[in-house]
Structure 1
Amino acid sequence: MRKEVPIVVLDFGSQYTQLIARKLRESGVYTEVVPYREDLEAIKARKPKGIILSGGPASVYAEDAYHPDEGIWDLGLPILGICYGMQLIAQHFGGEVVPADHHEYGKARLHITKPDSPIFKDVPDNSIVWMSHGDRVEKLPEGFETIAVSDNSPHAAIADENRQIYAFQFHPEVHHSVEGVKMLKNFAKYICGAESTWNMGSFAKEKIEEIRKQVGDKKVLCGVSGGVDSSVVAALLHEAIGDQLIAVFVDTGLLRKNEAQQVQDMFKQLGIDLITVDASEKFLSRLKGVTDPERKRKIIGETFIEVFDEEAKKHADEVSFLAQGTLYTDVIESVSVKGPSKTIKSHHNVGGLPEWMTFELVEPLREIFKDEVRKLGLELGLPKHMIGRHPFPGPGLAIRVMGEVNEEALRLLRDSDEIMQEELRASGYYDKVWQAFTVLLNVSSVGVMGDNRTYDNTVCVRMVESVDGMTATFAYVPHDILENISRRIINEIDGINRVVYDISSKPPATIEWE
């Protein structure tokens, strides 16, 4: 644990909690997330200048509501409550919280009623904020005042500025709250007095020291996929422990077209020795007949560990550690980490790991996000073309085939994905969207080709705009690009006669279909 942590976030289970820390770190203020039940002495040991109470799925008036150590209220520190955190503040100080007449999700306009409040410094009126709540503050506690409202929230932001306690009904930490970062920075800088001294360079140095301390003189097997996350982990480990790193690339048979060769070429450029294991037959045979998405993920996770275990036994020196490119977005959707968050789906490298696994995990990226990983990669000297690749899931194409995974389904998916990628790059749109891929729906529909009836498969094109993967909106790609993708897929791939475009956002959908 660091000697000093300027801002401590108590996690009450929101899917967005870690975004609070990420946004503040992005502003140069080091921030840590701890469980809502963190002991008061452990909080004080961090010497914080301020505390943030996160959102969460519970209701403060419920019998099993989550409450922090009561001592936090007596520390005399500035406090910011977000959503559940706001309701907790209202209840603790004698206000009233009730179920809202209507759940409020999505964008809202914030009308600032006290523009001279330091938390709204340089924040324009009527800024867009992101709402996600089912309860509301009905009655303000004594000493508090409303400092902002929205159409559906008469107390969108409240404050007791004498005690430096602030609360938002909205989520300033998500990308869609346009001025949210500025509000968080205002709290940290102008209300708490925190300084901007943290950056990805300092993060890299810290993680290198942590890896050396954790690993000692033991060997570390690093599973790489060729994606951004595992490549950055491999580079970080190489910097930290050199020849103690054993980088293993597993060809699962679930990769995109020509990807295995591309991965090997990439690691040659990095100067990192790479062991390639062709386990495609093993993965595909175990996925035969499996249609349930959770079962797919667990099979893939278990098979990965089995392959790594077999490879580790080939080396004379004992391999005690397994390194993975696990990100916070993987973790928060799979398991409850700091607080009581809900499980959305099991990621193969988190909820999909088998109980019999004997490796100790090394996961240096576990509490950062995709955009931070890219910054770290550049800090470590990785080439921009590698860092700019779109995210690709560890389970690979298995979770982009709806239903059973087999060679024919993979052929259709690989070929359609390759066409889509080609058209995006040719149009200059590859770098304008955060992630793009195709999904094989395994839904047949009637078509007509050359005056003949067809009854073939449907492919879905999915393109999203995002910053960190926690929230996303579908990409507004010009229709002529989508038309070219559709025309080429249907004309060039035997077995597909229909292409659709996914216009769902996250939430309520996830980015991947399974």
Structure 2
Amino acid sequence: MLDPSSFIKESIDKIKKTIGDKKAIIALSGGVDSSVSSVLVSNAIGNNLTAVFVNHGLLREGEADYVKETFQNRLNLKYVDASNEFLDELEGVEDPEEKRKIIGEVFIRVFEREAEKIGADYLVQGTIAPDWIESDGNIKSHHNLALPHGMVLEIVEPIRELYKDEVRILGREMGLPDGIVNRQPYPGPGLAVRIVGKITRQKIEICRKTNAIVEEEVEKVGLDKTLWQYFAVLTNTKVTGVKGDMRDYGYLIVIRMVESLDAMTADVPKLPWELVKTISKRVTAEIPEVTHVALSVSDKPPSTIEFA
């Protein structure tokens, strides 16, 4: 069982010995893993860590302001609005793997620019156990990353042996706000993996507004305390509906809510029907482009948690 106090002390000592007085950089997303890693390393090396928060234009509603307000006085925080750079590259892209590839490539490009400005020697990552267990099973703790223009950073992963519930315990111990500690996981590519089909700025706004309604209603009934993730997916399917006295032809939204301990498996729980109906009514009333709302009931496996 994790002893958070001992883990923090041992980690700080190890980080100080590893990084010393050199500079490090971390991509802060605002999720619990990168947030805990950022604070932990900052407690060890102070302002020699720069936490870079990149806005790729695919964030949830109000997320950029929330992350900045939470960390601007706690970390050496650098905010980079690269949304146009990302969205210009993604415009019209349909294939989900191509979306992920583009986002990854643009992110590395943006992040490399910031790393060069800082003169960083180390890259801190918020890798946790399920990340490498589900990928290639790599158990190597430290390795080097060569960025496209030849910059080499040594990787430090201070929480790579922990699971999500343990990371949350660590966050509480370090005094992070509940809004960060209990935050549902959010994919690195953001809303891009919750839009099936071509990416457009209009679709991003539809998905963002719908997702905000889902989060608001789930939190109203207190289910955010037990659900692992809850979000909206904008499909590339259009269906006939009625808005006012007129027939309409709008998008199909799928609502996804799952319970899990570590994302290795996930179950769709029994949900309050009034919650589902309320979300559906709000989405179709408040978002003109949507005419139909459906509920995903598939567990992981065979499905994945995200759609794309």
- Whether these two folds match at TM > 0.5 is yes
- What is residue 265 of structure 2 aligned with on the other side? 471
Write the letter of the residue equivalent to 1:328. Answer: A
Equivalent residues of 1:250, 1:277 under 8 A apart: yes
Aligned with 1:399 (options 168, 193, 197): 193
Higher relative contact order (CA 8 A, sep 6+): 2
Output the CA distance in 1 between the equivalents of 2:92 and 2:151: 25
Deviation at 1:338, TM superposition (A): 4.7
Output the CA distance in 2 between the equivalents of 1:355 and 1:469: 35
Equivalent residues of 1:305, 1:357 under 8 A apart: no
Aligned with 2:282 (options 466, 488, 494): 488
Deviation at 1:357, TM superposition (A): 6.2
1:283 aligns with 2:86: yes
Equivalent residues of 1:320, 1:359 under 8 A apart: yes
Aligned with 1:334 (options 135, 142, 146): 135
3-state secondary structure, aligned to 1:208 = helix
Output the CA distance in 2 between the equivalents of 1:373 and 1:505: 24
Superposed CA deviations along residues 38-62 of structure 1, whole A, max 9, x for unmatched, are: xxxxxxxxxxxxxxxxxxxxxxxxx
Equivalent residues of 1:302, 1:354 under 8 A apart: no
- What is residue 437 of structure 1 aligned with on the other side? 231
Aligned with 2:122 (options 317, 321, 344): 321
Output the CA distance in 1 between the equivalents of 2:154 and 2:91: 30
3-state secondary structure, aligned to 1:503 = coil
Superposed CA deviations along residues 72-112 of structure 1, whole A, max 9, x for unmatched, are: xxxxxxxxxxxxxxxxxxxxxxxxxxxxxxxxxxxxxxxxx
Write the letter of the residue equivalent to 2:30. Answer: G
Output the CA distance in 1 between the equivalents of 2:198 and 2:300: 25
Larger Rg: 1
Output the CA distance in 2 between the equivalents of 1:214 and 1:378: 25
- What is residue 67 of structure 2 aligned with on the other side? 263
Output the CA distance in 2 between the equivalents of 1:207 and 1:298: 33
3-state secondary structure, aligned to 1:359 = strand
Output the CA distance in 2 between the equivalents of 1:410 and 1:427: 26
Q: Percent identity?
A: 47
Deviation at 1:432, TM superposition (A): 2.6
Deviation at 1:320, TM superposition (A): 1.3
Deviation at 1:383, TM superposition (A): 2.1
Structure with the higher fraction of residues in strand conformation: 1
Aligned with 2:103 (options 300, 309, 312): 300
The 1:442–1:356 alpha-carbon spacing in structure 2 relative to 1, beyond 3 Å, is: farther
Output the CA distance in 2 between the equivalents of 1:290 and 1:328: 32
Count of residues in Structure 1 that have an aligned counterpart in Structure 2: 302
Q: How does 1:77-88 map to 2 (within 5 A)?
A: none
Aligned with 2:156 (options 362, 365, 369): 362
Superposed CA deviations along residues 125-150 of structure 1, whole A, max 9, x for unmatched, are: xxxxxxxxxxxxxxxxxxxxxxxxxx
The 1:436–1:354 alpha-carbon spacing in structure 2 relative to 1, beyond 3 Å, is: farther
TM-score by length of 1: 0.56
Aligned with 1:497 (options 287, 291, 307): 291
Equivalent residues of 1:220, 1:246 under 8 A apart: yes
Deviation at 1:424, TM superposition (A): 1.4
Aligned with 1:448 (options 216, 227, 242): 242
Deviation at 1:199, TM superposition (A): 2.2
Equivalent residues of 1:365, 1:373 under 8 A apart: yes
Give the RMSD, CA atoms, in angstroms.
2.0
Equivalent residues of 1:301, 1:354 under 8 A apart: no
Deviation at 1:444, TM superposition (A): 0.7
- Extract unaligned runs of 5+ from structure 1: 1-27, 29-197, 340-352
Structure with the higher fraction of residues in helix conformation: 2
Q: How does 1:200-219 map to 2 (within 5 A)?
A: 200-219=4-23
Q: How does 1:406-445 map to 2 (within 5 A)?
A: 406-445=200-239
- What is residue 43 of structure 1 aligned with on the other side? none
- What is residue 272 of structure 1 aligned with on the other side? 75
Superposed CA deviations along residues 373-410 of structure 1, whole A, max 9, x for unmatched, are: 10111122212232011111111111111122221111
Output the CA distance in 1 between the equivalents of 2:237 and 2:150: 37
